[in-house]
Structure formats: C-alpha cells, structure tokens
Structure 1
Amino acid sequence: MKQILETIAKSLVDAPNEVQITEIDGEKTIIFELRCNAKDVGKIIGKSGKTVGAMRTILNSMAAKNGRKAMLEVVD
C-alpha cells in the first residue's frame, strides 16, 4: 500500500524527492503520514479535497481485503 501511495503522491507534486510516507501499523488500523514540500500540499489535497479523498478510498479498499482500516494524514 505504501508503494502505491508513494507513486501517486510523487506523480502529483513538483518536488517528488521531498515526498515522505511514514507507516504506523496498529492492530486493526494502518495510518499513513504523508509529508511533502509546503508548496505541494495543495496539489495533494486537490480542489475541495477530492484528490486526497480518492487516495483514501484506494487505501481503504486495499486494507479492507485484509480486514483492516487505513487512514491517510497529510502533514505539513
């Protein structure tokens, strides 16, 4: 899941080398913290949050196969 999230995020931003994803693995939930350049945060979030919403949907679909939940947090 982390690789897919990283690929999507790097394709959206102007500075792909600054994209960092931290995975925090819980018992039933996986939390992904996405960090990027401050200028690229708007590109990750998208208009009305649609881009980050789509990324969260993809993560939740993948996590549901394993009976888990996934959360994505965009950190400045």
Structure 2
Amino acid sequence: MISEFVAQFAKLIATYPDDIRVQIKESDEITEIVLYANQADVGKLIGKEGKMIGAIKTVISGCKAKDGVSYRINVEPI
C-alpha cells in the first residue's frame, strides 16, 4: 500500500514516470522505502528545500502512527 502511494505520487511529479521504481527493505527496527528515479527527476522529487519529499514523509508518518512501524524514504538515481 505505501509503496503504491509513493510510486503514484512520484509518477505525478516526474518527467520520466516510466522510470519510477519503489523497493521496500524491511528490518526489525525500520522499513526503508527506496524510490528509484531518472537522474533528471531526483531534484524534482526532493523539491525545493525538501518540500516534496517532506510531503511524502508526512503521509508515511501517518501510517507509522497506524501500524507502529518506522519508515525511512530515500531517493536514488537510476
């Protein structure tokens, strides 16, 4: 569910939406969401002063409150 949200949100912003991939890496303490995007879209996804990625983190933090899992999100170029 979270990976689908992150992917759809990123595709709306990205110039190259077909390059968007989301990978979930789970461990005992934290679930890491890795958002892979075209190099040209990395800056757009992070946003000015981190506002775009901050918006994604805000929504994800709501999921943390619901299920008690800590999430971390990273944007990586392809």
User: Do both proteins adopt the same fold according to a TM-score greater than 0.5, normalized to the shorter chain?
Assistant: yes
Identity of aligned residues (%): 28
Q: Pairwise mapping of residues 1-76 of structure 1 onto structure 2 (< 5 A)? A: 1-76=2-77
CA contact (8 A) 1:60 1:71 kept: no
**Paired residue type of 2:41:** D
What is the CA-CA distance between 1:35 and the residue it aligns to? 0.8
Aligned Cα root-mean-square deviation (Å): 1.0
After the TM superposition, which segments of 4 or more aligned residues of structure 1 sit over 6 Å from their partners?
none
Amino acid at match of 2:65: A
Aligned counterparts of 1:16 and 1:9: Cα–Cα separation in 2: 7
- Any unmatched runs of 5+ in structure 2? none
In structure 1, runs of 5+ residues without a counterpart are: none
Quick one: distance in 2 between partners of 1:64 and 1:2? 17
Normalised by the length of structure 1, the TM-score is 0.92
Normalising by structure 2, we get a TM-score of 0.90
